[in-house]
Chains A and B, each alone.
Chain A
Amino acid sequence: MGLKVLLINFKMVIVTFIFGFSMVLSGCAPAVMKPSPEVYRETPREADEFEENAEKPGLSPRALAALQLTEQGRMFLENNQPDDAIGILERALNLNPNNGRNYYYLAEAWLMKWNVGQAAEFNRLAEIYLKDDSEWRYRVRLQRERIKEQNQ
């Protein structure tokens, strides 16, 4: 009970102080304004939630199909076949451009082919698309360091 009264009194003090201070400053300083909540949506709509979810790997059939190709590409990389990996990963990319792993593996493939320029380009794109995944973000960072090393 005592704590509640104390909190109300504290609010009153703050309100009074800010009110008085604002009255003094309102004529010379820009007011703190918040954006209008009623917004006319003139900017085009973003993809709705279903579309967003549909594009997440593992949910949309398109993404699932693309993941199959990504996996095939990864296998080629494991078998040290970067040329074959690139061909498959490009198809995966066309099917689902939002899967950052494709860019990551493409960077790996180009690293294997000692093409640092292309590896760096794909690593940069992987960074954009994998920014929300901490584990992959870490892998992308390590890859970037390897690219730098190879470039030296």
Chain B
Amino acid sequence: MTKKKRSINIFFKRLLKWYLPTVILICGIMLVYCWYLSIQIDKRFSGRRWSIPSKVYSDTTILYPGQKTNRTLFNEKLRRLGYREVAHRPVDKGELNRSASSIQLYLHDFIVPSRYKEGIPVQIRFGENRIESITNLNTGQLLPILELEPEEVMLFFGPHRERRQLVSIDQVSQHVIYAVLAAEDRRFYTHKGLDPKGILRAVYTNLRHASIRQGGSTITQQLAKNYFLTSKRTFIRKLKELFMSVTIEVMYEKNEILEIYLNEIYLGQKASEAINGIGEASFFYFGKSVSNLSLVEAATLAGLIRGPNHYSPYIDKDRCQKRRDMVLNAMVEQGWISDEELKMALPLPVEAVGYASYGKKAPYFMDYLSEQLTVLYSPQDLSSLGLSIYTTLDTQVQMAAENALRTGLDSLEKSNPELYRTDPQKQLQGAVIVMQPKTGYVLAMVGGRNYSASQFNRITQAQRQPGSAFKPFVYLSGLDKFTPASILSNESRIYEIDGKEWIPQNYEPMPEESVRMRNALARSINLATVDLAMQVGIDQIISEVGKFGFSTPLKPYPSIALGSFEVIPLELARAYCPFAADGVLSYPLALKEVLDENDIVMERRYMSIKQVTTPEKAFIMSSLLQSVVENGTANSLKKMGVAFPVAAKTGTTNDYRDAWFVGYTPDILALIWVGFDDGASIYASGSKAALPIWAGLVNALPQYVSGGWFRMPPGVVKQVVCSESGQLAVEDSCPHPIEEYFLADHVPIDHCAIHGDGDSFGRIIDGLKGFINKF
């Protein structure tokens, strides 16, 4: 055996003895590691891949010809819905063309429970603050009704504050895929997770330009890094990334990997919220779904992956365009687009739709809603399950309520500088709730003046004395014994409560010794109201009021008649609803539906009603409360532009601690409260402090004003009575006969005792004349 042969033998022997087992061992370890990784990957990918914040939506907006509109609020609404102005007739969804008398709008598609609405181009013509017509621009057909999509009002974020809309690979157009591959990984469909050619090419390009121009990571590597690893640049991390990439490639199809990648990538920032995934990004940058992106838009998005904020069109359009053009050129190099397509694309500017970075909308409403949601879902579920939560909120009403409250409180402070406080925690406060009385829908809620200064919700959490705003419930309790024409005493009396004397007084001195019930409520006369309450019985009042859903305790004291017991403003607003709803009390409804991420309904809430008084009494109460506006404490409403029929009640508590105004029509009910949290005086009554806020609110919402009034139920009778006696009027005798409503079984049968004893002969002649005229 030669020396050479011997050394070969020794080499092979050593190889067999040491190297081969070592290699086999290393391979084995790698395989075990990959197997371990595959378990980790499977665990992550087979479960929920992303935490998707649940979204809260407002109600849809209904438009119809003849509807009065507030153009300012309507335009704001369209802007918030993401419609973007164009100079031409809208051709893409989300485009809007405005002229003085009309709006052309290409509606977005939208899904609400059980309904999918495909966007169509429409023209809305306006005339004198009304919608004149709505036309489908595709067919020329006039539309009797149009529904605008719900508005996103809040997201339940997790700790990372990521926005993401998932898309399937089938929804992503081919040029989006090509653009992403051209920008990030041209050989994605041919490599096995690693691309040595790509790495060499990146090294060469970077050396040639003496700067980092290209990265060598494949899409699979990026996915492994983003999904499982940190962004630390260490050798171990890189090694893990390689193993993971290979494992992912073995476990999943290419399209599956690409889909996960497209949903995962970080693509920008909207204020404090991260934009993740191509689905969310296409809406954020271009206001459209990923399936509708054009070639240049696709290339722009693909270009962002390298540095979303560096190349953002919202930060530097030129830089963004250069990067986009690089992507387009890379697509041509790969033969994915033609030279002609490139030639057409390059001159096009980068046009992003813009976005409004806003704070929390309707924050008090959202807190109220969140309380209800957290009974159903944990905070973790809300921030990860991607639920769609539909509410009754009308953002136009919400804006109007916030504006009216701000204007009203500012104006009060200007008129009386004593009300001004520098400390935001102690400043003059106010609260507004707007409801639809028939259904209990809560359209808007403003629980305070400044949410960032105070999150205390004065609509749902405060307990305040209602003062005269409570009186309607006393009058309602009296309708079984008394009529609106009944005469009440206006004389001062002493009442004893727990051994102490209580002497109620009127708001201002009044010479009359007696007053009709309608006038007593219209003018909010305390003495007459206490007289009524004592005749009706305090226990009877408490029993009646108990049906209206107050949760705060009411004690059997005569002062209850003047609203001396605290109530929660939301419950007071709710308690007024039956007057406007045929005696039916509805539960305040804020949450309507919850859908999961596949649009399957998980939770539904409906209007829930219960009869608490008769339609006849409700009608009479509305009529009595209309007198408050016609000739009572709220008659200043007419001077403030409220020319349609309204039922309302003012309220002021001792030392002017609280000012209230509750007003309603058949369509809408709003409650306003003004006061200080610490109970300091505001030196103004309900009609001075709260009423103007109500007027400002309702004047901004012409779409909620039909101008109609309640239908008189069959059990109500209209009769002419003497204003002084409340009994049937006698012709030519009673100096001030009036028309009055009565419950059918409470119509007066006696004629006026004050003026009816006079000329009996004349009455006989009158009677005869009438009888003869029948023949």
Q: Flag if B772 contacts A11 (CB, 8 Å).
A: yes
- Cα separation A41 to B756 with both chains bound (whole Å): 21
Of the candidates B145, B609, B630, B667, which one forms a contact with A68 in the assembled complex, judged by CB atoms under 8 Å apart? Answer: B145
Q: Flag if B627 contacts A35 (CB, 8 Å).
A: no
A35-B731, A45-B645 as given contacts; A87 in contact with B113, CB under 8 Å: yes
Chain A binding surface SS class: helix
Question: B631 to chain A: which residues have CB within 8 Å?
Answer: 42
Of the candidates B64, B604, B772, which one forms a contact with A62 in the assembled complex, judged by CB atoms under 8 Å apart? Answer: B64
Of the candidates B66, B615, B729, which one forms a contact with A128 in the assembled complex, judged by CB atoms under 8 Å apart? Answer: B615
What string of 1s and 0s marks CB contacts (under 8 Å) between B722-752 and chain A? 0100001111101011111100000000010
A36-B731, A61-B64 as given contacts; A19 in contact with B439, CB under 8 Å: no
Nearest-neighbour CB distance to chain A for B702, whole angstroms, equals: 12
Q: Flag if A94 contacts B436 (CB, 8 Å).
A: yes
Interface residues of A in 27-64 (CB under 8 A from B): 27, 30-47, 51, 54-55, 60-62, 64
Residue in A81, A84, A131 with the greatest tally of chain B CB atoms within 10 Å: A84
A33-B751, A94-B438, A128-B615 as given contacts; A15 in contact with B739, CB under 8 Å: no
Of the candidates B67, B584, B627, B740, which one forms a contact with A125 in the assembled complex, judged by CB atoms under 8 Å apart? Answer: B584
Residue in A36, A45, A81, A122 with the greatest tally of chain B CB atoms within 10 Å: A36
Residue in B113, B582, B708, B718 with the greatest tally of chain A CB atoms within 10 Å: B708
> Is B330 an interface residue, CB under 8 A from the partner?
no
Question: A44 to chain B: which residues have CB within 8 Å?
Answer: 623, 626-627, 629-630, 645
Of the candidates B592, B608, B768, which one forms a contact with A22 in the assembled complex, judged by CB atoms under 8 Å apart? Answer: B768
Question: B741 to chain A: which residues have CB within 8 Å?
Answer: 43
Total interface residues in chain B, CB < 8 Å: 75
A65-B144, A90-B439 as given contacts; A31 in contact with B760, CB under 8 Å: yes
A31-B760, A33-B730, A93-B439 as given contacts; A43 in contact with B751, CB under 8 Å: no
Q: Flag if A86 contacts B606 (CB, 8 Å).
A: yes
Nearest-neighbour CB distance to chain A for B772, whole angstroms, equals: 7
- Cα separation A45 to B712 with both chains bound (whole Å): 12
- Cα separation A22 to B765 with both chains bound (whole Å): 10
> Is B47 an interface residue, CB under 8 A from the partner?
no
Interface residues of B in 51-79 (CB under 8 A from A): 62, 64-67
A84-B114, A87-B113, A94-B439 as given contacts; A35 in contact with B737, CB under 8 Å: yes
Nearest-neighbour CB distance to chain B for A2, whole angstroms, equals: 18
- Cα separation A84 to B113 with both chains bound (whole Å): 8
Question: B601 to chain A: which residues have CB within 8 Å?
Answer: 83
- Cα separation A118 to B737 with both chains bound (whole Å): 43
> Is B610 an interface residue, CB under 8 A from the partner?
yes
Question: Closest residue to A76 on the B side, CB-wise?
Answer: B114
Give me 13 other A-B pairs in contact (C-beta within 8 A), A32-B770, A42-B738, A65-B62 excluded: A35-B729, A39-B738, A42-B723, A44-B645, A46-B712, A47-B707, A51-B708, A54-B707, A61-B64, A61-B67, A65-B145, A87-B604, A98-B708
List B residues at the A interface (Cβ < 8 Å).
Answer: 62, 64-67, 113-115, 144-145, 436, 438-439, 441, 518, 581-582, 584, 592-593, 601, 604, 606-611, 615, 623, 626-627, 629-631, 645, 666-667, 706-709, 711-714, 718-720, 723, 728-732, 734, 736-741, 751, 756, 760-761, 763-764, 766-768, 770-772, 775
7 closest A-B pairs (Cβ-Cβ)?
A61-B66, A65-B64, A35-B720, A44-B626, A31-B763, A32-B767, A47-B709
